[in-house]
Amino acid sequence: MNKTPLLNRLRRSTSVRLSLRFALLYSLLTALVFAVAYKMADYEITHWIKDQLIEEEAVFVGTYNTRGLDGVIADLEAYGIFNFEDNRISLLLDADGRRLAGNVSRIAGDVASGYADASAIAFIGPDENDSFGFVLRNIPLGSNTLVLGTSTYLQAELLEGLGGGLLTGFIFTLMVGAGAGIAVGRRTEHRLRQVSSTLNHVANGDLEARVPLGRNDADDLSRLSAEINRTISQLQQLVDSQKQISADIAHDLRTPMQRIWQRLEAIGQSPELPEALAGDVYETIDAADDLIETFHALLRISQIEAGARRENFSQIDLIAVLNRIEDAYGVVAEEKNQTLTFAVGPNPLSVLGDQQLLTQMMANVIENALRHCPPAARIEVALFLRNDGVVFTVSDNGQGIPEQERQKVFRRFYRVEKSRTTPGNGLGLSLVKAIADLHSAVILLSDNRPGLNVTVTFPKTSETVN
Amino acid sequence: MRVLVVEDDHETADYITSSLRAEGHLVDHCNNGKDGFLNALDNDYDVMVFDRMLPGLDGLTLIKSVRGAGVDTPIMFLSAMDGINDRVEGLQAGSDDYLIKPFSYHELSARLTALVRRPPLKAEETILRVADLEMNLIRRTVSRDGTPIDLQPREFGLLEYLMRNADRVLTRTMLLEAVWDFHFDPKTSVVETHISRLRNKIDKPFSVELIHTIRGAGYSLHE
C-alpha cells in the first residue's frame, strides 16, 4: 500500500480530497469578497469624481452670474495653473462651438455622454496625460458651454493597486488553503492508515496491536482510536479467557476421560469378563475414542486459530508431503475400488508452513473425497504452480456439495444432510479451513460437474520454487 | 524393567503402576515433583514416566532438574495439554517421548518399551531376521523360508519397522508416525489396509502367522 505513488494515494484519500474541496471553496468565497470590494471601490471613486465636478459646476455658475464670461475665463486660467499632469481638462465654447478658453482645443465625440477617451482630447501644448479617458461635465453658461473633465488616471491607478493587492491576497489564500488542506488531509490520512493497519493486524490474529495515540487526544480521531484500542483490549481479554477455558477444559475433562478409558480397558482385559460382553466393552471404548477424538479436534482447531503454531513455520516441500499421502492412501482407494490419481507439478513446490498441519490438511481433503465418494469414483489430486501461487486441488466425480451448503461445511459440526450416515464429527473441513487460514491460503469449493472440486491456493513466496 | 512413575492423580497412577506390575516390571511411584526428583537421582531406573502438572515441582521443571543432575534415563512425559508448544517444551526440557491424556495403557506400554530398547541401528546390520522371515536392507529384498517376496517400497518400510521392533506391540499411532510421519488420526483405515496387504504377502502363503493383531492396542511381529 505504501508503494502506490503519493499523488495517487492523495487523490484516493477522502480526507485529502475533502480538505482540498474546502480550500477551493474558501478561495472562491475570498475571490467573491475581493471582487465585490473592487467593484465598490470603483463605484465610490467614480461618484467622488462626479460629485467634485458638480461642486465645480456650482462655483463656475456662481462666477458667471457675478463676474460674467470674463470672470469665468480668468478663473479657468487660474484653474489651469493648478493642473497636475493634465489631470483636469476644461474647454469653454461659445454658442457657435468656437473655443473661448480652456487647456484643450477640442473634444471629439459626444460630450453629452459624460465620458471621452483620451484619444478624443486635443491638448494645447504638450500632452502629459497618461489616462485612458476623462469623466466630463457639460455646464451651460448663458449661450456658452463650459466642459470640465477629470482624468480617470487616478482611479485606474488606485484600482490597479487595489486589484493587485486583492489578487496577491487571493493567490496567497489559495496556496495557504491548498497547502494546509493537503497537510491536514495527509495527517488525517496517516492516522486513518494507522487505524486500518492496526485493525488488519488484529484481523490476522495479532491482538497486541494498538492504534498509536497522539499527545493531543481531544479530537474525534483520537477519541475513535482510543475507542478502537479499548475494543481490541476487550477482544484480547475475551480471547485470553477463552484460551484459558480451553486449557481448563483440556485439563479438567481429560482426567475423567482417562479414568473412563482406564476402567473400560481394565474391564476388557479382565479374565472374568463374559464373552458376550466383550464386544460391548470394545464398542464402548471405540465410542469413548470418538468422543476424545472430537475433543482433540476442537482443541486443535482453537489452537490453530489462535495462531500459536505459526512459530514453527519453515519452508515445506509440498511434493514430499503429497508423496507420503499418496503412499498412505493409494491402497485405501484401491480397497474401495476408487481411482486416486496424483498429478504433481514439475518443480519443487514449497510453502512457508507447519509440516504436520499441512500434511493433515492435504490428507483430510483427500480422505473426505475417499469417504464421501461411492465405489468406482475417480479422485484426481493435483499440485502445481500458478501465477498467484502454489495450488493444491482435489477433484472427484461423486455427489458433490450443493452450492448453498459449500460455505457452511467449514462450520464446526456442520454436516451435509446426505453424509450424516457416514461416521465423522463434522470437524474435518473446519480443521482444513483453520489450517488454510493459518497459512494465508485461500480454499475454494466448486462444482466439478459432477462432483466436488476443492482448490487450496497458497500465496507465492520468493522461495516457492527453489 | 525398573520404572519410576511420578503422577499425582492416584487413579491414573494406580492404573499405570498396577498394569506395569502385572507385566512383571518393578515400579516406584511418587505423587509429587520433589519426591520424584529425589527418587530419580537415588535409583537406577530403566525408564521414568512424569506427569506434566504436579504439586510441589511441575513436570517441566522436574525434567530440567533431573537432566541438569546428569541423569540420562529415558523419560516419558504425560500431559493433558496437547498444544505443539507444550510438546516442544516437554521435548526440549529433556523428555524422550510425549503422551497426551487420555491415553491407553497399551500406547504407554508400547512406547515405554520402545524407549528402553531402542532398535539397534548398527551400520553393519544389513540383514534383519524374524523366524524364517529375512530382510536384506542393502539389496532391499525380502524372503520367507527361502521364497522371495515382492514388496512395494512402503510395504518394505512398514515391514522393516515391524522387524526392527519384533516382539513389541506397535500401536497405530506409532506406525503412522514412524512410517508416514503422520501426526494425526486418519479417518480411514490407513494402517489396517497396509497391514492387511502386507499380511497377504508375508503370512497368507505360509502356515505360521507372524503379524499379530493385539486387540485394542495395535500390532506385533513375532513367531
Any chain B CB within 8 A of the CB of A310?
no
Contact B187 A266 (CB under 8 A): no
CB contact under 8 A, B84 and A335: no
Q: Distance, in angstroms, between A192 CA and closest chain B CA?
A: 36
What is the structure's pLDDT at A322? 93
Give yes or no for residue A2 having a pLDDT over 50: no
Q: Give the DSSP per-residue string, A425-440.
A: -S-HHHHHHHHHHHTT
Residue of chain A whose alpha carbon sits nearest to that of B154:
A327
Which of B188, B196, B201 has the most A C-beta neighbours within 10 Å, making it the best mutation to test the interface with A? Answer: B188
Say if CB A222 and CB A214 are below 8 A apart: yes
CA distance B154 to chain A (A): 7
> B83 or A144: whose pLDDT is higher?
A144
CB of A314 within 8 Å of any CB in chain B? no
Distance from CA of A242 to the nearest CA of B (A): 15
Does residue B22 have a pLDDT over 90? no
Whole-angstrom distance, CA of residue A115 vs CA of residue A152: 10
Give residue A128's pLDDT band: very low, low, confident or very high (50, 70, 90): low
User: Using a CB-CB distance cutoff of 8 angstroms, which residues of chain A are in contact with residue B103?
Assistant: 258, 261
Find the range with the poorest average confidence among A195-199, A413-417, B44-48.
Answer: A413-417
Confidence class of residue A382 from pLDDT cuts 50, 70 and 90? very high
Residue A459: cis peptide before it, omega within 30 degrees of 0: no
Cell of residue A40, nine digits: 465598490
pLDDT of residue A364 exceeding 90: yes
Amino acid at A327: D
Query: Please, what's the b/e burial string for A285-308 (b: 16 or more CB within 10 A of its CB; e: otherwise)?
Result: beebbebbeebbbbbbbbbbbbeb
pLDDT digits (tens, 9 = 90+) for B99-128: 888 788 888 888 898 888 765 555 567 888
Contacts 24+ apart (CB under 8 A), A241-246: A242/A302, A243/A302, A243/A306, A246/A299, A246/A302, A246/A303
Q: Which of B80, B85, B216 sits opposite A251 (nearest CB)?
A: B80
Cβ contact, residue pair A324, B105, below 8 Å: no
Q: How many CA atoms lie within 13 A of A209 on its CB side?
A: 16
B122 min Cα distance to partner chain A (Å):
26
Question: How far does the CA of residue B52 sit from the closest CA of chain A (Å)?
Answer: 11
Q: What is the mean pLDDT of residues A182-195?
A: 84
Q: Check CB contact of B214 with chain A, cutoff 8 Å.
A: no
Query: DSSP 3-state assignment of B147?
Result: strand
- Report the C-alpha gap between A383 and A404 in whole angstroms: 27
Instruction: Answer with the residue of higher pLDDT: A302 or A44.
Output: A44
φ, ψ for residue B214, nearest 5 deg: -100, 110
Distance from CA of B29 to the nearest CA of A (A): 18
pLDDT above 50 (res A466): no
Which H or E run includes B72? none
Mean pLDDT of A20-30: 83
Local structure of residue B35 (DSSP, 8 states): H
Of the candidates A46, A53, A52, A51, the one whose C-alpha atom is nearest the C-alpha of residue A139 is: A53
- Closest among B69, B73, B39, B72 to B54, alpha carbons compared: B39
**Per the structure block, which three cell numbers stand in for A39?**
467593484
Most confident of A149-158, A197-206, A355-364, B115-124: A355-364
Name which of A257, A265, A293 is nearest B105 (Cβ-Cβ): A265
C-beta atoms of B190 and A262 within 8 A: no
Mutation target to probe the B interface, by most B beta carbons within 10 A, among A331, A336, A364, A368 is A331
B154, A327: Cβ pair inside 8 Å?
A: yes
Percent of chain A with pLDDT over 90: 16
Selecting from B81, B186, B197 the residue whose C-beta is nearest the C-beta of A367 gives B186
- The pairs formed by B124-128 with CB atoms below 8 angstroms and a separation of 24 or more are B128/B160, B128/B163, B128/B164
| CA-derived radius of gyration, chain A | 48
Q: Is B161 on the interface with A (CB under 8 A)?
A: no
Provide the b/e sequence for A39-71 (b: ≥16 CB within 10 Å). Answer: eebbeebeeebeeebeebbeebeebbeeeebee
Q: Which residue has the higher pLDDT, A113 or B55?
A: B55
Tell me the pairing of strands B75-79 and B97-100.
parallel
| Rounded-to-integer distance, Cα A405 and Cα A426, Å | 13
A10 and A16 in contact (C-beta within 8 Å)? yes
Place of cell 532398535: B119
B9 close to A (CB below 8 A): yes
Q: Is A259 on the interface with B (CB under 8 A)?
A: yes
* E strand or H helix at B161: helix B153-164
- What percent of chain B is predicted at pLDDT more than 70? 95
Instruction: Give the minimum alpha-carbon distance from B15 to chain A in angstroms, rounded to a whole number.
Output: 7
* Bridge partners (DSSP) listed for residue B24: none
Residue B221, classed as helix, strand or coil, is strand
In B, which residues are within 8 Å of A375 by CB distance?
none
Output the nine-digit C-alpha cell for A13: 484519500
Query: pLDDT class for A183, splitting at 50, 70, 90?
Result: confident
Q: What is the DSSP string of A380-417?
A: EEEEEEETTEEEEEEEE-S----GGGTTGGGSTT---G
Q: How far is CA A65 from CA A72, A74, A449, in A?
A: 9, 14, 116
DSSP bridge pairs for A457: A391, A442
Predicted local distance difference test score (pLDDT) of residue A395: 94
Q: Residue A111's closest CA among A123, A131, A93?
A: A93
Q: How far is B193 from chain A (nearest CA, A)?
A: 6
DSSP code for B180:
I
Specify the 3-state DSSP secondary structure of A332. Answer: helix
- CA-nearest of B210, B177, B189, B72 to A324 is B177
Find, in chain B, the residue whose alpha carbon is nearest to that of A257.
Answer: B102
Give the span between the Cα atoms of B220 and B162, in whole angstroms.
Answer: 7
| B22 has a chain A CB within 8 A of its CB | no
Does the beta-carbon distance from A259 to B180 stay under 8 Å? no
- CA A195 from chain centre, in angstroms, equals 12
Give me the numbers of helices (H) and strands (E) for chain B, helices first please.
8, 12
Instruction: Please tell me the predicted confidence (pLDDT) of residue B123.
Output: 56
Tell me, yes or no, if A183 comes closer than 8 A to chain B by beta carbon: no
Nearest CA among B31, B14, B96 for reference residue B63: B96
Question: Are B188 and A332 an interchain contact pair (Cβ–Cβ within 8 Å)?
Answer: yes
At residue A342 the predicted structure's pLDDT band, cuts being 50, 70 and 90, is very high
Helix (H, G, I), strand (E, B) or coil at A411: coil
The C-alpha cell at B219 is 500390532
> What is the rounded average pLDDT for all residues in chain A?
83
Q: Which of A258, A329, A335 sits opposite B101 (nearest CB)?
A: A258
Residue of B199, B198, B206, B200 whose CA lies nearest to B146: B206
Do the interacting molecules here have an ipTM over 0.90?
no
Q: Distance from A435 to chain B by nearest Cα, in Å? A: 13
Q: Which residues of A touch B11 (CB under 8 A)?
A: 259, 262
Q: SS3 for B122? A: coil
Contact flag B184-A356 (C-beta cutoff 8 Å) = yes
φ/ψ of residue A8, rounded to 5? -60, -40
Q: Please state, in angstroms and rounded to a whole number, the distance separating the CA atoms of residues B113 and B24.
A: 13
pLDDT in tens, B133-191: 999 988 889 999 889 999 988 889 899 999 988 888 899 888 998 898 888 888 888 99
Do the chains contact at B180 and A247, CB–CB below 8 Å? no
Å between B77 CA and nearest CA of chain A: 15
Where helices occur in B1-152 by DSSP H, the ranges are: 10-22, 33-42, 59-68, 84-93, 105-116
The pLDDT of residue A186 is: 83
A265–B104 CB contact, under 8 Å: yes
Residues facing residue B214 across a β-bridge: B218
Average pLDDT rounded to a whole number, residues A343-366: 89
Chain B contact for A243 (CB, 8 A cutoff): no
Minimum CA–CA partner of B152 in chain A: A327
CB contact under 8 A, B104 and A261: yes
pLDDT digits (tens, 9 = 90+) for A267-295: 887 888 888 888 888 888 888 888 877 77
State the best of A335, A364, A368 to mutate against chain B, taking most chain B CBs within 10 Å.
A335
Q: How many pairs of residues across A and B have Cβ atoms under 8 Å apart?
A: 103
Percent of the residues in chain B that have a pLDDT greater than 90, as a whole number: 30
Pick the residue from chain B with its C-alpha nearest to A424.
B187
Lowest mean pLDDT among A26-40, A139-153, A282-296, B40-54: A282-296
Q: Are strands A339-344 and A378-386 parallel, antiparallel or unpaired?
A: parallel
Per-residue model confidence as pLDDT tens digits over A195-252: 889 998 888 777 888 988 876 667 788 888 888 999 999 988 888 887 677 667 766 7
In what helix (H) or strand (E) does residue A87 lie, and over which residues does it extend?
Answer: none
Comparing B194 with B217, the larger pLDDT belongs to B194
